[in-house]
Amino acid sequence: MLDDIQKKYIKKESNYGAENYKPLPVVLSKAKGVWAWDVNNNKYLDMMSGYSAVSHGHAHPELLKVFHEQSAKLSLTSRAFHTDQLGPYLETLSKISGFEMALPMNSGAEAVETAIKSARRWAYRVKKIKPNTAEIIVAAGNFHGRTTTIISFSDEGNAKDDFGPLTPGFITVKYGCADSIENAINENTAAVLIEPIQGEAGIIVPPENYLPKVREICTKHNVLMILDEIQSGLGRTGKLFAFQHACTGCDCAVNECKWQPDGLILGKALGGGFIPVSCFLSTKEVLRNMSPGSHGSTFGGNPLASAIGKRSLELLYEDNLIENSRIMGDYFKQSLLNLNSKIIKEVRGKGLWLGVEIDPKYISGKDLSLMCLDHGILCKETHETTIRYAPPLIITEEELSWGIDKISTVLKKVEKVAA
């Protein structure tokens, strides 16, 4: 129940801000680790992690140290000059990911735009597609951002209604069906752009052979395979990258494997929960076509972002976050299944990235999120019937068990009303 203090803050947001979000009725004021507190000092378990942007936990002490030290020395110069932070950051990105080069940006949407531009330029200059004819194949149910170009290939009505004219050059096929991709390829196809696991669609995991088949098809037809791992990457699924779940017998964090895509889009967790940091990773053949003046960003690759990004990557291993995501994710998923709740129709996902499909005849996703909020759990529905759970990768079994108990209590209350 909102009190006058929270109502005051919410009213100010409503009065002075465009209502392009529908936040839950809580006013947060501080956070540490996996916990957040509202203005009345009520405590909540963060099961959202800023859609994976806070994978390291809130106010990670090492990242906070880097943030303070680097911002006190040099935070921004623009790319008109070299800095002592960008090179080491790019080197770390390359060595950890196995990709040859990176183009740094800020938001995830910017990195997707970068991937699109890079793929098109490669198509014209290397593959020799006719000018202004390049096409990119995307998947139904995708979410890659909200810029004008990106919404042009979304199939979410509200994301594109009354924002036209939209950008052409995108072909939509069924997600999880590699054959539909091959059938859509023609002489103008530059790239395939997909999520290895669809996030906004409700944590949709494709068939196991999907990505390997897409890789084979793209290689066969000389088409770039580009994966958007803005949410799924950097340990979220229990692997460094979600596409590595298709790999066996290889260490993709160090050596390129046969399923590795031609391009990878990263963001969110790369900024450690402090600032927007993103990048597009690819080969020299692709990124060397991006000549001076062809693309850029005032803040992209700034010294502060570079320092934070480099340390965020290192901490994935120093804090054992990838393995913890795998172990805690398995525990979380099995615990939810063990609840044997008739409210839950399905639990999807990998690692600490789960989508719980609920039966709408008992309760809506929004109302279940509100009930979880009342019991100290921060989560949010997507597509009305799926609750997404994605706690920080630092979460312990004790903290997770606390959350599972709260979720169980909520589900039992719903079942009691429905009985």
- Active-site residues, by number, are 143, 228, 268
Q: Which amino acid is at 309?
A: G
Tokens of 396: 């312990």
CA angle at residue 126 from 289 to 185, to 5 degrees? 120
Q: Which helix (H) or strand (E) holds 278?
A: strand 278-282
Residue 195 phi, psi dihedral angles, 5° rounding? -95, 135
Q: Which helix (H) or strand (E) holds 385?
A: none
DSSP code of residue 124: H
Residue 402 CB-density burial (10 A; 0-12 exposed, 13-18 middle, 19+ buried):
middle
Tokens of 23: 């936040």
Residues 6+ apart with CB under 8 A from 7: none
Residues 6+ apart with CB under 8 A from 311: 62, 63, 66, 272
Residue 194 phi, psi dihedral angles, 5° rounding? -140, 165
